[in-house]
Amino acid sequence: MTVHLYLSLIPEALVASMLSPEEFGIYYAVGTRKKAHGEAIFFELDPEFRSDSFRIEEGISRCVPKEDGTPKRSIYISVYGVLEHIDLAAIQKLYLVTSDGRVLGLDPSSDLPKDEDGLHLYQEIAPVHPLVVSTLNPVEFHELIAKSPTSLLSLPAICFVELSLGELATDPEYGTVADMPYSHIDHMRDCLVELKTKTIHTKMVDRVHPASFPYRMIKSGIFIGNSKELRYFPLLSREELRKNHYRWWRSANM
């Protein structure tokens, strides 16, 4: 059986598995009786990827079928400091899994989202996961976190998602909240107003925010980058999701 390599983001881990991405997504989100349900986000890596930072060959050698022939679901190769040691060129595809095991695969794109007027909301997913508002677009935000030599809060690598702010992006003081599901919305509004009135580029809304987020609020897509490059995995249009991935879209909106 083929052994796959997966970079899990919730939690951050490098995993070897004999399950296909769809099977792994269901197992990782729904799990077994010993595991709680929850959203899962992971990248599929080139199976030939190797790094001196990980004992990949040893992990693969342990990934063998059970006595009854069923595939080995997971062998954890590393659970600490994983993202910073991943060659981004080895990333093949991103998978978003709903809490009931609906799996959506996303391909990378070389076309970054168009820069729009207004403020931005970012959920950092790994290796840390604060919720942040910013005047910076995704490319500028990545450069601040992973490439700026003067930033005191730099990281060797980061994965983050841009979430929709609706009317608050351009009118943080009086814009309507509508059906946005964010908690502490009044505090978020105050942070956005500060960005408008002070000479600061980012403001942390919640430093201990869960890494998971409502998929329906994804504005553009998910970004993963280090000091060398930035890769972008755009979410499909709402129309395409409803037409071709209805079960996933329905689950993501529940």
pLDDT in tens, 23-80: 999 999 987 654 556 799 999 999 999 999 999 999 999 999 998 989 999 999 999 9
Residue 189 has pLDDT above 90, yes or no: yes
What is the C-alpha separation between 91 and 74, in angstroms, rounded? 19
What is the C-alpha separation between 102 and 247, in angstroms, rounded? 7
Predicted TM-score (pTM) of the model is 0.93
The string of pLDDT tens digits covering residues 117-174 is: 899 999 999 999 999 999 999 999 999 999 887 777 789 999 999 999 999 999 999 9
Of the ranges 84-88, 114-118, 177-181, 209-213, which one carries the lowest mean pLDDT score?
A: 114-118
pLDDT (0 to 100) of residue 37: 64
